């Protein structure tokens, strides 16, 4: 290589790298919630371990995640993706719209009230009192292995209402289910 070529080579590599970076899509920004968020729009939202987050009128463009021993109190929110809680102390979602599913696993108490969503509601191995009331669920409601008591009342479910291995058995009434009511939820 001659001297001008040696000088151009690093510049060409740098330019090629910059083009590659520009073509890479940016990752969604994740916001952490400790305290209160009002009517703001965020990308992904995370309630960190042990924190308490209160949402009122908040729009989440991605996922809403509640971590171990955290508490979520959400009212009039809109979530484009899923609401997921694993090991959370308490999760409450009221008068809201969720674009995906709600999955609450191995946590404490939870209440899902007047929520509209196209996906599923999964309440799995929670130990606190659970309530699902007056929701419109496009998928199925699955309630499995919970030990704090479950009330399922006045929901419209396009899929199935499936309950098993809950102690005590779920209670409730007035659920309109397009699919089948199964196992412990047969009479609800």
Residues near 29 by beta carbon (within 8 Å), at least 6 away in sequence: 42, 43, 44
Q: What is the pTM of this model?
A: 0.84
Q: What is the pLDDT of residue 32?
A: 97
In the structure, what pLDDT confidence band is assigned to residue 106 with cuts at 50, 70 and 90? very high
> Does residue 2 surpass a pLDDT of 70?
no
> Does residue 4 surpass a pLDDT of 60?
no
CB 117 within 8 A of CB 137: yes
**Domain map of the chain by residue range?**
30-183
């Amino acid at each position: 290589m001659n001297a001008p070529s040696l000088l151009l080579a690093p510049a060409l590599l740098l330019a090629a790298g910059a083009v590659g970076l520009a073509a890479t899509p940016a990752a969604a920004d994740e916001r952490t919630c400790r305290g209160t968020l009002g009517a703001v729009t965020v990308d992904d939202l995370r309630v960190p371990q042990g924190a308490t987050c209160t949402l009122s009128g908040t729009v989440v463009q991605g996922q809403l995640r509640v971590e171990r021993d955290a508490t979520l109190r959400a009212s009039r929110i809109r979530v484009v993706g899923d609401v997921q809680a694993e090991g959370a102390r308490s999760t409450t979602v009221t008068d809201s719209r969720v674009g995906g599913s709600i999955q609450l696993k191995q946590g404490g108490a939870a209440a899902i009230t007047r929520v509209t969503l196209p996906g599923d509601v999964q309440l799995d191995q929670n130990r606190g009192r659970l309530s699902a009331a007056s929701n419109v669920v496009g998928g199925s409601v699955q309630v499995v292995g919970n030990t704090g008591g479950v009330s399922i009342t006045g929901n419209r479910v396009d899929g199935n209402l499936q309950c098993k291995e809950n102690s005590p058995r779920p209670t409730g009434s007035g659920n309109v289910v397009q699919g089948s009511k199964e196992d412990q939820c047969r009479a609800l």
